[in-house]
Amino acid sequence: MRLRIHEGGIRNVVEEGIQRPLTACLQCSKCGGGCAHTEEFDLTPRQVIESLLDCQDERVLESRMIWLCGRNCTGCQAVCPVGLPLNEIMAVLREEAEKQGIKPKYEQPSLIYHKFNHCAKHRREGEASESMDGREA
């Protein structure tokens, strides 16, 4: 299916929300490569951004990723070479989805960040949900 590119999507809402243009994304894909939710996600963070730039709003708002990403996990944001606030982007998108009556794909955060929600040490450090050896704790 060929996608029709236009300019009027929720990209503007997101950019306003984070006060930065999404065109900062290099599409280097470092974010998706290190993501802790590989078994569940449908879009990687950089695909969310590219889809927003292409105004594929439905694809983004209907995705599982926006409900998985950025809740007490800063894995992608911590390594993003241009420092895009991916957590904030996902928060804006969740808000937008709720406004449009889209039901959350996950009622509960996944177990990984559920654990981190209740772990004072990780909450304090705000670090990626991983230890030094890079594995999920």
Partner 1 sequence: MKKTLVIGGGIAGITAAEKIAQNGAEVILIEKENELGGNFAKLTFTFPVLGDAKALLNKEIDATQSLTGIEILKGTTLEKVNGSAGNFTVELSTPAGKRTENVASIIAAPGFHYMEPTAYTEYLYGHSSKVVTSLEFEKMAAEGRLPKGKVNVVFVHCVGSRDKAKGYRYCSKICCSYSAKHAIMMKKTNPESKNYVFYIDIRALGKGYEEFIRSAMEEYNVRYIRGRVAKVLPEGEKLLVRAEDSLIGNPIEVEADLVVLASAMEPPVGSRELAQVLGIETDEYGFFQEIEANVRPCHSTKPGVFLAGSCTQPMEIASAVGMGGLAATEALILAR
Residues in the site for partner 1, rule: CB under 8 A?
26-35, 38, 44, 46-47, 79-83, 132-135
Q: Tokens in use for 133?
A: 């050896």
Q: Which is nearer to partner 1, 28 or 99 (by Cβ)?
A: 28
If you compute the radius of gyration of the chain from its CA atoms, what whole number of angstroms results?
15
Q: How far is the CB of 57 from partner 1 (least distance, A)?
A: 19
Q: Which is nearer to partner 1, 38 or 117 (by Cβ)?
A: 38
Q: Tokens in use for 114?
A: 């559920």
Number of Cβ within a 10 Å radius of residue 30: 16
Alpha helices, DSSP H, located in the chain: 11-18, 30-33, 45-53, 57-61, 65-68, 75-79, 86-99, 111-117, 120-125
Q: How far is the CB of 118 from partner 1 (least distance, A)?
A: 25
Q: How far is the CB of 18 from partner 1 (least distance, A)?
A: 16
Q: Which is nearer to partner 1, 31 or 91 (by Cβ)?
A: 31
Q: How far is the CB of 77 from partner 1 (least distance, A)?
A: 10
How many Å apart are CA 108 and CA 11, to the nearest integer? 26
Q: Which is nearer to partner 1, 34 or 109 (by Cβ)?
A: 34
